[in-house]
Structure 1
């Protein structure tokens, strides 16, 4: 896996994500996670606090969603890479 620094909930870039952006990212995480047995049927957007959209994984910040999506994409790339069997 790539050695990326996770996005923190306090990262100012988070404020640029709207409810619609987060819903789209949730759909992508649902789709990509399904093949790994990761299912969140009740995941969705929650409220916005201090300009940050919360995600309904127990009111996790959007950065949790972005970090999870990044991990899923890394795993997919590793599996589909030139050395994949």
Structure 2
């Protein structure tokens, strides 16, 4: 997903907090921890995520990668 994707404007702070929680939980399995990641400001109608003020698209893409990795691990088992 690109930062300019218009669907991103529909994510609220609450949506992002839930997604961050999921990234935190799923990332632990792979040693990926972002304890300070949270929502930041809203810029041009898009909520920024506070790990180097990444756009929500970065969060969604990261979550997608973690889900793919989990699927690969479960298929290998």
TM-score range, shorter chain: over 0.9
The alignment yields a C-alpha RMSD, in angstroms, of: 0.6
1:35 aligns with 2:29: yes
Q: Which runs of 5+ in 1 are unaligned?
A: 1-6
Higher helix share: 2
**2:48 pairs with 46, 51, 54, which one?**
54
Greater CA radius of gyration, 1 or 2? 1
What is the aligned length? 77
Q: How does 1:5-84 map to 2 (within 5 A)?
A: 7-81=1-75, 84=76
Q: TM-score, normalised by structure 1?
A: 0.88
Q: Which runs of 5+ in 2 are unaligned?
A: none
Q: TM-score, normalised by structure 2?
A: 0.97
After the TM superposition, list the runs of 4 or more consecutive aligned residues in structure 1 that deviate by more than 3 angstroms: none
